């Protein structure tokens, strides 16, 4: 386990895997109807359930109240994919239970009472699920989780009813994209019960050719089946991307990667959008063995996000961020 953006293996098409389980406590209204007192009660119930567990996984987790986290850090957590943007905005009375390496994070009273999230680098949905499931078991053992024999786990939104499981894979698909593949397959993907969208989730545009593939079906399917199916679809994307890569004009692609490398290593002003697109080129370069001295492109990518920058260098105007970003990238490359 470790940071999702620092894979041990070299960056490849599958960047990271994410499992999210939505759970609620029986007899308590959903968060959008709760008052501050009720929210705090849930927070403490879940905190205690973890604290009182003998499971070694539970020992790794820390309870943190969101009001103790400064604004910049809250949004930097969104950029690191640890919490949702809505949760960062509506942080009052909220709390999280999180592991040191941030691979496990439980959001309390977001859309549901409990949202367990596990992140892994690469295509490791099964591994991420095993961790999420272990935490789920700890909670189910000591809390009265809302479960219906016919429907499965009860959730605030009907799209999560059943398993309450969302399995997502972050994929780097520059050549699939360049060949018009994403648009072409989107109807098919939807029909198969999946969605594919930008790196920062719903409504965000795909940057640097990074896409999130997620399962949509939670009813009439087991958690295991959902994970196997998502893994299979992700593998199909990976295979297509690999095929496109094999058909490449090596010289042109090398030229493109190295130009982007040269710009990043020398630019004095760098917007977040340009960085993303250039890092996309760098990532192709790494996966084709053209660029060898960059180990964690996603770490660079994430650490240059606006709030991640401000977390490190203090509050800044967008213009100053573009300069600070360029300086940081030059020193990182």
Q: Give me the residues that bind its own copies (CB under 8 A), please.
A: 251-252, 254-255, 258-259, 261-269, 323, 326
Q: Which residues does 140 contact at the CB level (< 8 Å), separation at least 6? A: 23
Cβ at position 263, least distance to its own copies in Å: 5
SS (H, E, C) 252-310: HHHHHHHHHHHHHHHCCCCCHHHHHHHHHHHHHHHHCCCCCCCCCHHHHHHHCCHHHHH
Q: Which is nearer to its own copies, 142 or 320 (CB)?
A: 320
Please state the closest distance from residue 176 (CB atom) to its own copies, in A: 23
Shortest Cβ 265–its own copies spacing (Å): 5
Strand ranges inside the chain, DSSP E: 14-23, 61-65, 95-99, 104-108, 114-121, 147-148, 152-153, 165-172, 194-198, 210-215
Of residues 197 and 278, the one with the C-beta less far from its own copies? 278
In the three-class reduction of DSSP (H, G, I as helix; E, B as strand; rest coil), residue 148 is classed as strand
Nearer to its own copies, 57 or 248 (CB): 248
Q: Give Cβ neighbours of residue 70 (< 8 Å, ≥ 6 apart).
A: none
| C-alpha distance from residue 104 to each of 25, 130, 153, 203, 231 (Å) | 20, 12, 21, 25, 20
Torsion region of 114: left, alpha or beta (phi above 0 gives left; psi -120 to 50 gives alpha): beta
Closest approach of its own copies to the CB of residue 324, in Å: 12
- CA distance to 51, 295, 302, per residue, from 274 (Å): 44, 20, 13
Of 130 and 319, the one with the shorter C-beta distance to its own copies is 319
Q: How far is the CB of 242 from its own copies (least distance, A)?
A: 22
* Cα–Cα distance measured from residue 30 to residue 160, given in angstroms and rounded to the nearest whole number: 14
Residues found in the chain: 333
Output 197 or 325, the one with its CB closest to its own copies: 325
For residue 313, the minimal CB distance to its own copies (Å) is: 17
Q: Which is nearer to its own copies, 73 or 254 (CB)?
A: 254
CB 257 within 8 A of CB 287: no
State the minimum distance, in angstroms, from the CB of residue 323 to its own copies. Answer: 7
The least distance separating its own copies from the CB of residue 267, rounded to whole angstroms, comes to 5
Q: What is the Cα–Cα distance from 186 to 208, expressed in whole angstroms?
A: 18
Say how far apart CA 252 and CA 164 lie, in whole Å. 45
Please count the CA atoms within 13 angstroms of the CA of 150 that sit on its side-chain side: 0
Nearer to its own copies, 53 or 272 (CB): 272
Residues 6+ apart with CB under 8 A from 319: none
Nearer to its own copies, 29 or 262 (CB): 262
Q: Least distance to its own copies from the beta carbon of 329, Å? A: 11
Q: Which is nearer to its own copies, 15 or 257 (CB)?
A: 257
């Amino acid at each position: 386990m470790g940071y999702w953006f620092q894979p041990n293996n070299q960056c490849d098409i599958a960047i990271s895997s994410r499992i999210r389980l939505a759970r609620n406590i029986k007899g308590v209204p959903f968060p959008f109807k709760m008052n501050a007192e009720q929210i705090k009660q849930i927070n403490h119930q879940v905190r205690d359930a973890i604290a009182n567990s003998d499971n070694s996984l539970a020992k790794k987790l820390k309870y943190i109240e969101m009001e103790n986290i400064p604004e910049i850090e809250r949004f930097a957590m969104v950029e690191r994919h640890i919490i949702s943007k809505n949760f960062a905005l509506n942080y009052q009375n909220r709390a999280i239970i999180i592991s040191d390496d941030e691979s496990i994070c439980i959001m309390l009273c977001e859309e549901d009472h409990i949202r367990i999230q596990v992140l892994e680098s690469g295509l490791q949905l099964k591994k991420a699920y095993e961790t999420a499931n272990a935490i789920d078991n700890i909670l189910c053992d000591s809390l009265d989780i809302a479960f219906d024999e016919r429907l499965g786990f009860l959730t605030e939104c009907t799209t999560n009813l059943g398993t309450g499981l969302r399995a997502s894979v972050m994929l780097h698909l520059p050549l699939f994209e360049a060949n018009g593949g994403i648009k072409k397959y989107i109807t098919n993907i939807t029909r198969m019960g999946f969605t594919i969208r930008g790196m920062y989730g719903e409504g965000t545009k795909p940057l640097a050719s990074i896409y999130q593939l997620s399962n949509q079906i939670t009813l009439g399917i087991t958690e295991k089946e959902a994970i196997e199916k998502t893994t299979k679809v992700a593998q199909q994307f990976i295979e297509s991307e690999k095929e496109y890569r094999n058909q490449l004009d090596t010289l042109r692609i090398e030229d493109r990667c190295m130009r982007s490398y040269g710009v990043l290593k020398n630019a004095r002003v760098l917007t977040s959008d340009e960085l993303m697109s250039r890092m996309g080129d760098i990532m192709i370069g790494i996966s084709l063995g053209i660029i060898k001295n960059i180990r964690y492109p996603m770490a660079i990518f994430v650490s240059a996000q606006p709030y991640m920058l401000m977390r490190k260098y203090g509050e800044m105007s967008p213009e100053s961020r573009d300069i600070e970003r360029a300086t940081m990238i030059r020193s990182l490359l």
